[in-house]
Chain A
Amino acid sequence: MNRTDTVGSGRSFRVPGRLVPAVLGGFLLVYFAFPFLSFLSRTGTANVAARLSTPEAQAAIRNSLLTAPVSTAVATVFGVPLAYLLARASFVGKRLVEGIVVLPLVLPPVVGGAMLLTAVGRFTPVGRVAAAAGVPLTGSLLGVVLAQTFVAAPFVVITARAGFGSVDERLEQASRSLGYGPLATFWNVSLPLARGAILAGITLTFARAIGEFGATMMVAYNPRTIPTRIWIDFISGGIDTVVPLALALLAITLAVITAVQRFGRIPTVVDG
């Protein structure tokens, strides 16, 4: 039998290999970019500088700049060790722990906020004690931090875990055999080698935290952050009143991402 007979057909029509994914991906890109551009095109109609200099806007920016870094720091300090454990250790109930980690991701933020209220709200035991001690856990900057951390922390845990997972365990074993204990090995080897992923996780967490609205609205409607302020402006003044603060939020987030990537020297596409 002539072997070419069986595969001969279907050769006349050839689609360039990357055409299909490019077209499909292109649709999504246009869908992302179009609303973005149409929103930006409104900046001319709104008086950006004037609206950003109002006391309400200034307070919102200040509050966001105070809370989001704190939430990110809290998520990182507690989340990176957890990520390391999930990457390295196998233990009974690991599946459960993994489920708990992604719980805030799959919950609608507003529901997450409601849950937080049932845990630390003013009329719960914890909330009452804290309020009596002068540190109310709701309707305060601390409440904003609690809401942001709840919603945003999974990003740093999940991303850092993938980063630790891609570090060959033998590099850590070599460090142990060269005389370093587990903590020194984590500090000298695991952390620097997973740095790219951890920084990416921190960036995602920060972006998520500073933009957090749903849970924040439930736990701390006051004091206002940029997202809650945007909501109030929208309700009272319509779309154009929202543009200046939205741009401010975008600028802050972009600045932080750029700074982290520059400082952390993360390659743009894949981490090296």
Chain B
Amino acid sequence: MTNETGESRVRLAIDALSHRYGDELAVDDVSFGIEAGELVALVGPSGCGKTTVVQSIAGHVRPTAGRIALHGEDVTGVPPEDRGVSIVFQRSTLYPHMTVGENVAYGLDARGVAPARREALVSKHLELVALDDQREARPTELSGGQRRRAELARALAPSPDVLLLDEPLSALDRTLRIRLREEIARIQRETGVTTLFVTHDQEDAMALADRLVVMNEGRIVGRGRPRDLYESPPTPFVASFLGRANTFSATVLKSNPLTVRRGDETVEIRGVKADVSDDSTVTCHVHPEDLSVRPAESRATNPSIRGTVAHVADVGRRYDVTVRIGSGEDLVAEQVSSPPAVDDDVAVAFPGDRLHLFDRDEGRRVPLSAV
């Protein structure tokens, strides 16, 4: 992470951050870094501690332990106003007693920017978010999407070192969310601002981020490029969170070729061997788009699991077929056409190389390779 001149490119570094609220450990030993100009998404379900991380970076929460460094300088004890970190929250924090233009100018006034330059910067940032005709409007006169954009302009106007976006899209409806997501991507590209995007929505995260940091129960459980994490998730949680919860448990009978047993059914995954000892219990995950449903008696080359169709949901451009494969174990298969009927006995098949295997006891990903 060092360029040719030997200068670190890491803009923001979080080092062993922990935070307690009373007895509850909300953030547990979290460390990650963001390079200058990067857009990193911090994702995880509600209550996983990501907002506490953001609040610590902004300086609104003093972490129980750990360090936060900006440009390599420790800012853990520095008050928010001296950090150069802008923040956009889930709910609008535009000041209702100021016009849109005054809101955008607010952060510039704090830095004593000269009036002429301030006006120019306000105009520039209102243009950036396509709100130049709303300069004199009150925030209450703006639509939900316009308010978001005005907040982005206000946060960006003082040229922050780091921009924190804390669930900025979560309060919006789907159409608006996707449009604003693209807008954020464009603005980030144009300004090159180092951004931490916090969300519980894996789709927003995957669509926007250069890198993902996945959190669960206060800890980081995965990190990497979105596609890499999706295609080789390190834990069942990451697999389920980035895709969909789609797992079944099994016992390994043989590791080469991989053969597992669930109940009275033996499934051989031909052409694949696993680095796992016999008799270990494993959690298997397959993304729904990799599963296909076919009649139970059909013979096929791909490995398959028998089950009964429990539910078919027509979600428009595809069908989500829920197949019950055991007590409390369901698999969802995405099917484009001709779904089976409920209560049909079916086989759920998947290509052997699309299986993700996790050792239940060790909690690790089991490497699979072609034979």
- Least Cβ distance of B177 to chain A in Å? 20
- Does residue B20 face the partner (Cβ distance < 8 Å to A)? no
Q: Chain A 24-35 against B: per-residue CB contact (8 Å), 1 yes, 0 no? A: 000000000000
Q: Is the CB of B80 within 8 A of A173?
A: yes
Q: A178 with B110: in contact, given A170-B89, A173-B87 (CB under 8 Å)? A: yes
Q: Is the CB of B107 within 8 A of A168?
A: no
Q: Which of A168, A178, A192, A193 contacts B106 (CB 8 A)?
A: A178
- Least Cβ distance of A18 to chain B in Å? 29
Of residues 138 through 176 on chain A, the ones whose CB sits less than 8 Å from some CB of chain B are 168, 170-171, 173-176
Residues of A within 8 A of B158 (CB): 178-179
A175, A179, A193: most-surrounded residue (chain B CB, <10 A): A179
Q: Is the CB of A179 within 8 A of B93?
A: no
Q: A179 with B58: in contact, given A170-B89, A171-B93 (CB under 8 Å)? A: no
Q: Is the CB of A176 within 8 A of B93?
A: no
- Least Cβ distance of A23 to chain B in Å? 37
Residues of B within 8 A of A177 (CB): 58-60, 80-81, 83, 85-87
Q: A189 with B95: in contact, given A176-B79, A179-B81, A181-B81 (CB under 8 Å)? A: yes
Residues of B within 8 A of A168 (CB): 91, 93
- Does residue A123 face the partner (Cβ distance < 8 Å to B)? no
- Does residue B356 face the partner (Cβ distance < 8 Å to A)? no
Q: How large is the interface on A (under 10, 10 to 19, 20 to 34, 35 or more residues)?
A: 10 to 19
Q: Chain B 78-103 against A: per-residue CB contact (8 Å), 1 yes, 0 no? A: 01110101110101010111000000
- Does residue A234 face the partner (Cβ distance < 8 Å to B)? no
Residues of B within 8 A of A176 (CB): 59-60, 79-81
- Does residue B111 face the partner (Cβ distance < 8 Å to A)? yes
Residues of B within 8 A of A193 (CB): 95-97
Residues of A within 8 A of B155 (CB): 178
Which residue of chain A is the closest to B58 with respect to CB atoms? A177
Q: A173 with B106: in contact, given A178-B154, A180-B81, A192-B97 (CB under 8 Å)? A: no
Cα–Cα, bound, A218→B351 (Å): 92
Interfacial residues, chain A to chain B (CB-CB below 8 A):
168, 170-171, 173-181, 184, 188-189, 192-193
Which 9 A-B pairs rank lowest in CB-CB distance, beginning with the nearest? A179-B110, A178-B107, A176-B80, A174-B93, A171-B93, A177-B87, A192-B97, A170-B89, A173-B60
Of the A-B pairs whose beta carbons lie under 8 Å apart in the complex, a sample of 28, sorted by A's number, is A168-B93, A170-B93, A171-B93, A171-B95, A173-B58, A173-B93, A174-B87, A174-B89, A174-B93, A176-B59, A176-B60, A176-B80, A176-B81, A177-B59, A177-B60, A177-B81, A177-B85, A178-B81, A178-B86, A178-B110, A178-B158, A179-B107, A180-B81, A180-B110, A181-B81, A188-B106, A192-B97, A193-B96
Q: List 17 additional contacts besides A170-B91, A178-B158, A180-B81; criterion CB under 8 Å.
A: A170-B89, A171-B93, A171-B95, A174-B89, A176-B60, A177-B80, A177-B83, A177-B87, A178-B86, A178-B106, A178-B154, A179-B107, A179-B111, A180-B110, A181-B81, A184-B110, A192-B97
